[in-house]
Structure 1
């Protein structure tokens, strides 16, 4: 669950697009940290704009509401997961490729330590945000299933798509279980708490046999 790193250096982006990306990143960072620290209902859009150094009008150029900030954040997470799966070597077993894919947001989460932990807890413990998180995960499952079917060369017209959907669902269940376990309990010292990568390895050790026994799987 990473944070925007500011300006994207891709050469195909114009200066205006890079500036817009930077402002959106600063707004997202300010909003998530304020919401995580003070609680979703306690933070106003004025406070977010002030913390990001922009006007309230500028905020509404990028987001329709506080909730929209989190929804876009979750959408970007899903995009990262699918992109990583598409980029994995074709010879990898499904369990390995999917483990790397769902590690993308978890790895960014681990890199940001306590800041990311606060945001994870905000999303999991705020009913409205958790509901949107579950909605996004349903979309991620469809996207991952489509990517996995293409990866394994399955004919969508001839195959009912049972394996890709189940495999994507298992991978995302592992992702969700790791997030809940990592964020459980208040006052957890990160240095002694279970690391997300170790938790993910344990989760995938459980589901890997089923993932790699599916159609098109390689040993």
Structure 2
């Protein structure tokens, strides 16, 4: 990357946090904030328009979530790096983000120094994580069970695989929610995460992948 300010797009559905983060970043040396977005759909459109070096991405947002947006951005705009900034520190979220193409993962408790280092590092092709996230990543790959899962789509959680199976059987969100005793909003969010993890653009594409892998069968 040439010696120029690193341009950043801030994506978060909370306007106060988003504005505050834009202010913090704007005060850091070598960084210029070029835009903000309130959800994944806005983020994808803004990246196409602004071509930032870095997208600082929340995960949990209404509509198009951060995972789906990350997968879309990293596929369509490989010169733009995504750094996740979220409250989610569970393994499922961390590894789903990495599989979607994220180049860094920080928690919202991170201080300005950590964010500064992660943004500049990602702009130069490095992958940086917050301390607790790094421990989880190392522990995962040190585990003898890390590659032992033979179930289809090991990147999915058991619940996500269950929902995908029901989708493949032709059930809609309402029917899945009733079957699994979940809210429709929860099912909708899980379906969005499934599409991002499978890098599927539509439900139909995800269903086709699932059926090819043997899901959606009776029994």
Q: Which structure shows the bigger proportion of residues in strand conformation?
A: 2
> Do Structure 1 and Structure 2 share a fold, with TM-score over 0.5?
no
TM-score (norm. length: structure 1): 0.27
TM-score (norm. length: structure 2): 0.27
Q: Which structure shows the bigger proportion of residues in helix conformation?
A: 1
Highest RCO, 1 vs 2 (Cα 8 Å, sep ≥ 6)? 1
